[in-house]
Amino acid sequence: MKNLLFLISLIAFVACNTNQQGEMEDKQEVSSINATVAVEQSVKTEAIENLPPKLKKYTWQFGMCEYQGSYDASKYTEKQLNNTIRWLLNGEGASKPSSIFNIGDVAKIDREAIDTEFKQIVQTISDAEIVNTPYFKQLKQKKLEEIKRLHLLTLMEIDAYKNPAVLNNDSYSKNSCSKYTNALIEGGAMLLAVWKEMAEKSKEEGNTSAWERYLNEFNATNKMDYARIHVTTFGWWNCVNESIERVDGYLAHDNQFIKLFSDVKKICEEP
């Protein structure tokens, strides 16, 4: 009987050790498989990161020259490149209406249409997708500031024909252009004196036709209208125009644009 019990215990012990060894082998096999999968995933990730850029061809025009290059389509789109050229490099945007040379033209100005046009162009450029680099993002902001400043001064000039006091609402107009601003607000003898000073300066610079025109208009019955037009257009506007920080065209920024491409080819027409 004792021998039988000993035999049963021995069989149970051997079976238990065999099961434990099998479990350990299974765990080692799973661990080995997991390690292999992890290595394979790491290799795949590294391979994806090191893939060559998705290059696309692009052709554009600067002045008399045509350019062709390859760009990384994972960084920029053709639309972004087109918008960068159109709005930032080619200088497309709002412009000031023609200057007034006849007092009767003031009534013909559609202030609301001009205001709407400026607002639309600002919104269009704001929404335009451009090349997403710090350089061109900053250039876009400068372009928007330029147009907003031009917008403000254009409406101010229009409003000043009815209410010259609005010229003091802008600090640059009030301080840096005070000679013209004060003359337009004061009117009368002060306005006439500034007008004459401008005409005499033109004569000294050799523009005799401007002086002759001044003499004819000074002797007209509506000389105050002529004085207001000349001082506003050629005095005040030329002065405040200096306060507009304009974005230069492609010649100033073409090198930055070209850096977006590889294998750039340049073909220029003979002048």
| 117 in the same domain as 59 | yes
Note whether 149 and 265 are same-domain residues.
yes
Q: Are residues 122 and 234 in the same domain?
A: no
Query: Which strands form 65-72's sheet, in the order they lie side by side?
Result: 55-62, 65-72, 262-268
CB atoms closer than 10 angstroms to residue 129: 13
Residue 197 shares a structural domain with residue 229: yes
Average pLDDT over residues 44-73: 78
Tally of domains within the chain: 2
Range ranked top by mean pLDDT from 54-58, 78-82, 85-89: 78-82
Residue position matching structure tokens 């789109």: 77
Q: Does any domain span residue 30?
A: no
Both 99 and 230 in one domain: the answer is no
pLDDT in tens, 194-253: 999 999 999 999 999 999 999 999 999 999 999 999 999 999 999 999 999 988 877 778
* Residue 247 CB coordination number (10 Å): 20
- Rounded Cα distance between 260 and 214, Å, is 54
b/e per residue 213-238 (b: at least 16 CB within 10 A): ebeebeeeeebebbbbbbbbebbbbe
- Whether 131 and 105 share a structural domain: yes
* Residue 18 within a domain: no
pTM of model > 0.85: no
pLDDT at 24: 46
- What the block records as the tokens of 108 is 């013909």
- Check whether residue 186 and residue 235 sit in a common domain: yes
Domain extent, residue 127, equals 55-162+260-271
Top mean pLDDT of 83-92, 95-104, 177-186 is at 177-186
Cβ(95)–Cβ(88) under 8 Å? no
Other CB atoms within a 10 A radius of the CB of residue 259 amount to 12
60 vs 27, residue with greater confidence = 60
Mean pLDDT of the chain: 84
What pLDDT, in 10s, does the model give residues 133-155? Answer: 999 999 999 999 999 999 999 99
The reply to whether 41 falls in a domain is: no
Listing DSSP states for the chain in one string gives -HHHHHHHHHHHHHHHHHHHHHHHHHHHHHHHHHHHHHHHHHHHHHHHHTPPP-EEEEEEEETTEEEEEEEETTT--HHHHHHIIIIIIS--S--PPPPP-SGGGGGG--HHHHHHHHHHHHHHHHH-----SHHHHHHHHHHHHHHHHHHHHHHHHHHHTT-GGGGGGSHHHHHTTHHHHHHHHH-HHHHHHHHHHHHHHHHHTT-HHHHHHHHHHHTSTTHHHHHHHHIIIIIIHHHHGGG--PPP-HHHHHHHHHTT-EEEEEEE---
Distances (CA, A) of 224 to 24, 66, 185, 186, 196: 106, 53, 13, 12, 12
Residue bearing the bigger pLDDT, 82 or 90: 82
One domain, residues 80 and 129: yes
Answer for the pair 53, 262: CB distance below 8 angstroms, yes or no.
no
Q: Are residues 264 and 158 in the same domain?
A: yes
Are both 172 and 229 inside the same structural domain? Answer: yes
Condensed to tens digits (0 to 9), the pLDDT of residues 104-126 reads 888 889 999 999 999 999 999 99
